[in-house]
Amino acid sequence: MKLVIADYNYSSWSMRPWMFVRYHKLDIEIERLMFESQELRRQMERSFSNGKVPVLIDGPIEVWDTIAILEYLNEKFPHSGGWPESADGRAVARAVCAEMHSSFQGLRSDIPMNCRRYFPSYEVGERAKKDIDRIQHLWRYCREKFGHQGPWLFGNFTIADAMYAPVVMRFRSVDVDLDEVSQAYCKTMNESEAVREWLQHAQQESHVFDEDELDWPSELL
Ligand SMILES: N[C@@H](CCC(=O)N[C@@H](CS)C(=O)NCC(=O)O)C(=O)O
């Protein structure tokens, strides 16, 4: 089985299934192809994914949507506990994942994921602020209602944490005011072995993808 992703530094959708694979150390090959490269273009011509990563390839099967990839991995590796054990927890986890998938356009377009850079003077705009408030509300809700058995949204690491990992990376790049629960959650994410591994890969890349660079003074992280 192979997971095709793009730049560690920039590709937020790639990070989600990658996190799940690496958190659980699943035996899956990772192929990283840089944005704008010939190799990625060639792979995309062969793929059914409409030019987008991530793509999971398992023999004749290709899965090209992040949630579908995570569901597939959870089915193929049932020990990974992709969803919470309780029916209530599963329903809420699916809702927060769906909301991540379909929402937060303000945050996503105003603060692109850029793991190597910190923008000290960046001023967060109103639409991103609204999304950040909603995300903190979701995190508090999950942590308070379902998070008693561990530091992740539903206690143990689930698909929901994989889905929100790139949000935490965005919050590393700019100064955002976070409540205590959200700060603790970001700390858990940033200190996890999988995120540290992702960031090391991002540090080793030098490719600059102009589309995802903010036009503000920045420092290297
Ligand atoms: N709906 C897709 C979204 C994937 C996506 O937008 N991927 C971005 C990379 S982070 C991409 O491939 N962008 C290239 C493009 O749009 O040409 C999923 O859930 O996996």
Residue nearest ligand 1's atom 13 by CA: 52
Cα of first residue to Cα of last residue in the chain, in angstroms, is: 33
Q: pLDDT-derived band of residue 130, with 50, 70 and 90 as boundaries?
A: very high
Q: What is the CATH code for 87-204?
A: 1.20.1050.10
Query: What does the pLDDT look like over 68-114, one tens digit per residue?
Result: 999 999 999 999 999 999 999 999 999 999 999 999 999 999 999 99
Query: What does the pLDDT look like over 195-220, one tens digit per residue?
Result: 999 999 999 999 999 989 999 989 98
**Topology classification of domain 2-80:** Glutaredoxin (3.40.30)
Ligand 1 closest atom vs CA 51: 17
Q: Hey, do 2-80 and 87-204 end up sharing a CATH topology, with the first three levels equal? A: no
What is the CA(115)–ligand 1 centre distance, in A? Answer: 17
52 in contact with ligand 1, CB cutoff 6 A: yes
- pLDDT of 196 reads 98
Residue nearest ligand 1's atom 6 by CA: 52
Could you tell me the residue ranges of all domains in the chain? 2-80, 87-204
- pLDDT of 186 reads 98
51 in contact with ligand 1, CB cutoff 6 A: yes
DSSP 132-180: HHHHHHHHHHHHHHH-TTSSBTBBB--HHHHHHHHHHHHHHHS-----H
Task: Identify any residues that bridge with 4 across adjacent strands, giving them in sequence order.
Answer: 31, 55
- pLDDT of 193 reads 98
53 in contact with ligand 1, CB cutoff 6 A: yes
The arrangement of strands across the sheet holding 55-58 comes to: 29-32, 2-5, 55-58, 61-63
* CA proximity to 150, closest of 119, 176, 184: 184
12 in contact with ligand 1, CB cutoff 6 A: yes
Tokens of 68: 């579908």
217 in contact with ligand 1, CB cutoff 6 A: no
Total-model pTM: 0.97
